[in-house]
A and B are shown apart, each in its own frame.
Chain A
């Protein structure tokens, strides 16, 4: 587990955002910003992911998808809400179909504001998520130890 902490895998899901933050999330993995230098890889499989990057204010139809993806990810896991829509609903807050913010559906650990969120701030959010992931892992390891003794 200790070694895994250095190369967390990302899962990205577009929960009804405008695409702007999604292409910026993808941009983070390309040469200019290169999130892989932190050992981070973008994966498509929820079962292998540690960090969930989620964009957009969740709508009625993708609510169940978001919940399902979150439940499929193994513990411990961290959720990063990317973009102002994922944080609060943003300009889509008044739309009839928008729940307003990812935290109305699943617990969120890091909020990255911006419309669209810049790659620099997304990377900053992911690095913050790494700390939280480490704390969660330590807590998880402690609880495992106390169970055994």
Chain B
């Protein structure tokens, strides 16, 4: 047996903007074991429900993570709406769907950029992020924020889009689709990119299910599971199929995410063509009493929200299980047997969101 050595990876690391620490056990250049340790971004947000009013907490839950911000607000609000028997107006459900899909486009483009950066492909990184600015501009125009929007409230949404804005949004999705094609081709067909991604970090279908992978990770291993199919917000009225790939390697994960961007753009256009007129908010009276559990599909995978309340201004317990938490065990499995130089790339292919994971 070759001599074993331990290499620390992180928490401050040039590849990832967020702090995560891995102890990599190496035999020569090959990783034989990886021990993740987290907690660098732990703030204790779940505990804050005891001191913040349940309506005020919407703003806290949106700040669990700056990338998945809209989805967290959506999950929390839907839980409370179920507990309090509030029927969300259809227009609000459609607006939520549109914003959720815009979040997915922005998150996946961000990930593509970071992936290119991890491979050292600077110009592709810049191109992906330049394209992402278009969707951020639309967020700015529709909600007033680029990253954190705070447009969700219990019973609906706070802001409406007029017809002109919806038309503009539809045009922007066309423009993004056109500009994305050459970038997608580079990711999928460029020989240098393919040689970095092909066959790297293979996760078989059975392993993915056993290790509890979620989201694009799970779909890239050939499991057609998408929590959007549960039909929350307006997803029941829209036509889409979960995107899967069979190989389960890094290339497949890249492919699934790129196809999901195109899918999300089409979902935005579908929602715009079907959006009904009407109010955007249902008034909410009284305090919540009861408990509810719900799942939504975040850009990174399935997230679980649980709320328990007993009739007071403050809810008793809020629990959030984020997609990256469940994607860490499969990541550790993938890391075993890879080269040290591939570690940053492999860590990135699960699309880690550490501030979600640790809250």
Which residues of A are interface residues toward B (Cβ below 8 A)? 12-27, 30-32, 43-46, 56-57, 59, 61-62, 65, 69, 91-92, 94-98, 115-116, 118
Cβ < 8 Å to A, chain B residues 89-144? 110, 113, 125-126, 129-130, 133
B138 to chain A, nearest CB (A): 14
Residues of chain B within 8 A of A17, CB atoms compared:
41, 66, 355
Whether A59 lies near B19 (C-beta < 8 A) is no
Residues of chain A within 8 A of B129, CB atoms compared:
26-27, 30-32
Which residues of B are interface residues toward A (Cβ below 8 A)? 11-15, 17-19, 39-45, 47-48, 51-52, 59-60, 63-67, 69, 110, 113, 125-126, 129-130, 133, 145-148, 353-356, 358
Specify the chain A residue showing the minimal Cβ separation from B50: A94
Whether B45 lies near A92 (C-beta < 8 A) is yes
Whether B43 lies near A98 (C-beta < 8 A) is yes
Specify the chain A residue showing the minimal Cβ separation from B355: A19
Whether A45 lies near B67 (C-beta < 8 A) is no
A17→B48 CA distance, assembly (Å):
16
A90→B180 CA distance, assembly (Å):
37
B236 to chain A, nearest CB (A): 31
A25→B173 CA distance, assembly (Å):
25
Known contacts A13-B19, A31-B129; A59/B43 CB under 8 A: yes
Taking chain B's interface residues, is the majority helix, strand, or loop, or is none over half, making it mixed? loop
Known contacts A27-B129, A30-B130, A91-B59; A20/B66 CB under 8 A: yes
What are 28 A-B pairs at a CB distance below 8 A? A13-B12, A13-B19, A16-B43, A16-B358, A19-B17, A19-B18, A19-B67, A20-B69, A22-B66, A23-B67, A24-B146, A24-B147, A27-B129, A31-B126, A32-B129, A44-B15, A59-B40, A59-B43, A61-B40, A62-B40, A65-B40, A69-B12, A91-B63, A92-B45, A95-B48, A96-B47, A97-B42, A116-B66
A28 to chain B, nearest CB (A): 11
Known contacts A16-B43, A30-B129; A65/B19 CB under 8 A: yes
Residues of chain B within 8 A of A24, CB atoms compared:
146-147
Residues of chain A within 8 A of B11, CB atoms compared:
62, 65
Whether B64 lies near A14 (C-beta < 8 A) is no
Partner of B63, one of A18, A59, A62, A118: A18
A21→B65 CA distance, assembly (Å):
10
Residues of chain A within 8 A of B133, CB atoms compared:
27, 30, 32
Additional pairs, 13, CB under 8 Å, beyond known A17-B66, A32-B133, A92-B63: A14-B18, A14-B40, A16-B41, A16-B355, A20-B63, A20-B69, A23-B110, A23-B147, A26-B129, A27-B129, A44-B12, A95-B47, A97-B44
Whether A116 lies near B148 (C-beta < 8 A) is yes
A61→B12 CA distance, assembly (Å):
13
A13→B18 CA distance, assembly (Å):
8
Whether A19 lies near B44 (C-beta < 8 A) is no
A24→B132 CA distance, assembly (Å):
12
A14 to chain B, nearest CB (A): 5
Whether A44 lies near B14 (C-beta < 8 A) is yes
Most buried by A among B51, B146, B353: B146
Residues of chain B within 8 A of A21, CB atoms compared:
66
Specify the chain B residue showing the minimal Cβ separation from A83: B66
A29→B12 CA distance, assembly (Å):
19
Residues of chain A within 8 A of B13, CB atoms compared:
44
A20→B51 CA distance, assembly (Å):
24
A30→B131 CA distance, assembly (Å):
10
